[in-house]
Structure 1
Amino acid sequence: MALSSDDIVEIIDLHTRYNTAIDAGDGHAWAATFVEDGAFVRGDDTVAGRAALADFVHAREAAGQRAGVHGRRHWNAAIAPVATTQGAESTCDLALTGRDAENRAVVMAAGGYADELVRVEGTWLFSRRVLTLADM
């Protein structure tokens, strides 16, 4: 079964909600882009469950403030969702920009995501999101 054009637009909107929430430091809104027991994986670290996901963003935001980093923006490109028997899988590219302590614009990270998505009560959510960062 193929994804409908509405599904694809909704999945792209999910990426937008995810990016907007994490960029604002809104851990609860970011966690709400995942299913209740959803997981975010970065390297050997896995954060699972909405409460832990929200805490992850709040801790990340506090660490950034201590380091003088601000104005972070996540940019996704080449979002490519495909249907699966469980829902959908998607990949996309990532660029993370921000401003350093001297207020200079910097590229903070680049890489990509590999996602597993499911539809819950009519809304697409991440069930698992794996971040792979490029060497910079």
Structure 2
Amino acid sequence: MALSVEDQLAIQQLYAKYNHAIDSGDGVAWAASFTPDATFVSASGTFTGTEALTGFGNSLARRFKLRHWTNNLVLEGSAGEATGSCYLVLYRLTPGEQPPASILTTAIYHDELARGADGAWLFTKRAAVGDS
């Protein structure tokens, strides 16, 4: 069975909440978008489990002021599991400077998702594959 419209909307909200959490430096909320044993892979390293994910989410905001912009989301799956992919443009903010933002990198996210214990969609694996 294909993903329902409700599941697709719930997953879109997960993607948006993920971006808002990481950009605001809320590592706890960012890690909550993953299952407890999930893995995130990026140029910064591989982080597995809630504690490692929370630490990465908190540390990123201390190093940079960022805005994650994602689009062209493609989802496939069923009622319990899904895969997703979207483009990422990662902006580095430099308030008070001109221009106030510049592109830090571009990438494609490759995602695996599942329903958590409460039925909400969560990432089980997320890999950011840079374009450079």
Say yes or no: TM over 0.5: yes
Deviates more, 1:75-84 or 1:46-55: 75-84
1:119 Cα deviation from its structure 2 partner? 0.7
Distance 1:24 1:44, change over 3 A: closer
1:110 corresponding residue in structure 2 = 106
Distance 1:56 1:107, change over 3 A: same
1:9 corresponding residue in structure 2 = 9
Report whether the alignment pairs 1:124 with 2:118.
Answer: no
Percent of paired sites with the same residue: 36
Residues in 1 aligned to 2:43 and 2:55: alpha-carbon distance in whole angstroms: 18
1:58 Cα deviation from its structure 2 partner? 1.5
Moved over 3 A (4+): none
1:41 corresponding residue in structure 2 = 41
3-state SS, counterpart of residue 2 of structure 1: coil
Residues in 1 aligned to 2:44 and 2:9: alpha-carbon distance in whole angstroms: 31
Q: Deviations over 1:30-66 (max 9, x none)?
A: 00000011110115821000111010111222222xx
Residues in 1 aligned to 2:93 and 2:12: alpha-carbon distance in whole angstroms: 26
3-state SS, counterpart of residue 2 of structure 2: coil
1:84 Cα deviation from its structure 2 partner? 5.3
Residues in 2 aligned to 1:41 and 1:26: alpha-carbon distance in whole angstroms: 18
Residues in 2 aligned to 1:86 and 1:122: alpha-carbon distance in whole angstroms: 9
3-state SS, counterpart of residue 6 of structure 1: helix
Distance 1:42 1:84, change over 3 A: farther
Distance 1:7 1:21, change over 3 A: same
1:100 Cα deviation from its structure 2 partner? 3.1
The letter of the residue matching 2:6 is D
Residues in 2 aligned to 1:97 and 1:43: alpha-carbon distance in whole angstroms: 15
The letter of the residue matching 2:84 is S
Gaps of 5+ in 2: none
Paired residues in the alignment total 129
Quote the RMSD (CA, aligned, Å). Answer: 1.8
